[in-house]
Structure 1
Amino acid sequence: MPGRSSPLTWRPLSREDARTSADLLNAMETVDRIGENYTEEDTLQELVDPYADLERGSLGAFDGDTLVGYVKIRFKPSAEEVHRVFLDGGVHPAHRRRGVGTRLVEAGVAAAKVLHARHHPGRRLAVDVHRPEHIAGLAELLRSRGFAPVRYFRRMEHSLRDVPPPSAGLRIEPWSERADEDFRRVRNQAFEDQWGAVPMPADLWRNKIVNQTFRPEVGFLLRDAATGTPAGVLVTMSWDADTEATGVRDAHFMVVGTLREYRRQGVATALLRHALRAAADQGYDRASLTVDSASPSGAPGVFEKAGFVPKGQYIRWALEV
């Protein structure tokens, strides 16, 4: 455990900090219980994010060689009226209530302004924090720095012990390298009217979606049976560190999207039924997803009808700069 009396050193993060970053996040999980466990490979994937400028947009607090707190900013590849950057961070439980979190949040907001000016000057800036609502002290810290809650997201789960058979007569195909660009394009078009979403360029798609946590055997594209046009997509992720820590193999439906012209025609329901059956056949214990409570597509109702039940809530905090 990091020493409580050691003086801290401060510097930007680098990809060489993947191991100590995983150790910090796993130490935080023992107290915060948000269901997120990490391997070194997982944290490295985040550190090499093409839209995370570590030199200008990160800061780590180190006790010797041990990371005990961090903040990292991820800017958006594109922006319309508002450029919403993400501020991610945390503090080791042994170093909380000592001003470390306050310094990190302030540094993160300052870094967000720098990156915003470099990439999307002329747009308005909003700094977003997306965290579970139950983390002790987080609301007080964010409110003290001017953040306010602007959106609520539900985590929902579905047991795979009793899953209905998939719908028949539909043109649903599994992920393949050949179809990967169709998957990305449908995701981007399906999320055009979703709050805060922007198109994912190919480099971000590779970093955030088609990485070591991607599960292609539970990824599907639904096409219009008459024309062959892609109509909907479902992408699944699973984290080995979570399985090892909990004993529960979770299929997380990271992307569930339907093109607007195909909504309310059963596309999402068909994809969910197909993916639930595939996950059960692959030996997963449950499926999960996170959904915007105010989604304009009516997604929460679709997921409830498919048998998903709420299990927790995330809050999107924002600071309008």
Structure 2
Amino acid sequence: MELVWRPLTTADIPAVAALYNAAEAVDDTGELLSEEDFAESFGKADLPGGSLAVLVDGRLAAYGLVALRDNPVGTHRVRLDGAVHPEFRREGIGRQLLPRLATLAHDLHLARHPDLPLAVCTMVESRAEGHVALVEKLGFGADRYFYELEVALGESLAQVPIPSGYEIVPFSAARDEEVRLVCNAAFAQHWGSVERSPEEWAASFTDSLRFVPESSFLALFQGAVVGFVLARHYPVVEEMTGVRELWIGDVGTLEEHRGRGVAAALLSRTLAQGRTQGYHRAGLSVDSANSTRALGVYERAGFEVARTWIDYGLPVAL
């Protein structure tokens, strides 16, 4: 089987989305993505220097993307994303794809952050035995575990009271920059977190088609933002499963305001608003070793673990 390797282009987006969802039909990771979602990913990526298309007889058999961060601190963890079409698995493509992506990540890293150490990483759903075996064979180690949680938005949702002295208000574009700065401060001590630049923030929220400001809320203390819940919606999930899901992209509270019920009250408003807007369930991801006890907040809100993801990492010599 002759493989042709080249960078991805935006013209590949339909084929990449089709390949990804063919793989998802087999792997059942719960991660569904549309052409629009890939258009956003491609827009953030360096396609000529940080992507690969693998062709067999002109057909897309696999793809890979390198995702760098804007403002890395300490070790620069560069994410490698990709998939092999189920019809082309067990042909050794994945064993070639990941090392090639790591080489691209190395070159991009040296051009942008030459003074920082580099590690490449990739997320693997824990039940994907073949994927787990592949990354471990290539030397990747399990660095962190993340729980994907879900809750049905039924009538049993409890309304959590707002702590005394605080106010909860809908997200406002006028506070966008303030929320970005609070988000960076709230996640400053979280494992693997880096500051989001204005450009990265806009791509993830302000300018993203997936951001749902009407289901996002802010906590104020003396008129200033001290906490937030920012929600997203991926229409492809509803299109492919019939389930309308509200994805809780980020939940955070400034350190000095933690332990007072701020996050629980914010989350309660978001879930209630989601139910009013016709969402069937809400989902989110949380670091299993989160030091802020976020998992307990989510469990008390009714969330339960649906899947476990493993963040595999591999240090790369410079």
Residue 302 of structure 1: SS of its match in structure 2?
A: helix
Q: CA shift at 1:8, angstroms?
A: 3.3
Task: Report the AA paired with residue 12 of structure 1.
Answer: P
Residue 70 of structure 2: SS of its match in structure 1?
A: coil
Query: Structure 2-normalised TM-score?
Result: 0.94
In the alignment, the residues of structure 1 paired with residue 286 and residue 279 of structure 2 have an alpha-carbon distance, to the nearest angstrom, of 21
Q: Which runs of 5+ in 2 are unaligned?
A: none
In the alignment, the residues of structure 1 paired with residue 28 and residue 214 of structure 2 have an alpha-carbon distance, to the nearest angstrom, of 29
Q: CA shift at 1:166, angstroms?
A: 4.8
Q: CA shift at 1:264, angstroms?
A: 0.7
Q: Which residue number corresponds to residue 302 of structure 1?
A: 297
Query: Structure 1-normalised TM-score?
Result: 0.93
1:207 to 203, 222, 228: 203
In the alignment, the residues of structure 2 paired with residue 19 and residue 174 of structure 1 have an alpha-carbon distance, to the nearest angstrom, of 36
Q: CA shift at 1:65, angstroms?
A: 4.8
Q: Does 1:286 align with 2:281?
A: yes
Q: CA shift at 1:165, angstroms?
A: 2.8
Deviation sequence 1:12-53 (CA, Å, 0-9, x none): 11222211111111111110111122221111110001xx21
Task: Report the AA paired with residue 199 of structure 2.
Answer: D
1:216 to 213, 238, 253: 213
In the alignment, the residues of structure 2 paired with residue 229 and residue 66 of structure 1 have an alpha-carbon distance, to the nearest angstrom, of 54
Once the two structures are superposed, the pairs formed by residues 101-120 of structure 1 within 5 Å of their partners are: 101-120=94-113
Q: Which residue number corresponds to residue 157 of structure 2?
A: 163
Once the two structures are superposed, the pairs formed by residues 86-165 of structure 1 within 5 Å of their partners are: 86-161=79-154, 162-165=156-159
2:171 to 161, 175, 179: 175
Q: Which residue number corresponds to residue 41 of structure 2?
A: 46
Mean Cα deviation higher: 16-25 or 145-154: 16-25
RMSD of aligned Cα (Å): 1.4
Task: Report the AA paired with residue 284 of structure 1.
Answer: Y
Q: Does 1:238 align with 2:233?
A: yes
Q: Which residue number corresponds to residue 24 of structure 2?
A: 29
Deviation sequence 1:209-247 (CA, Å, 0-9, x none): 3311111111111111xx212110111111111101111
2:15 to 12, 17, 20: 20
Q: CA shift at 1:286, angstroms?
A: 0.7
Aligned partners of 1:156 and 1:312 also within 8 Å? yes
In the alignment, the residues of structure 2 paired with residue 281 and residue 65 of structure 1 have an alpha-carbon distance, to the nearest angstrom, of 47
Deviation sequence 1:141-200 (CA, Å, 0-9, x none): 111111010100001111111212353574112122212222222211111000001011
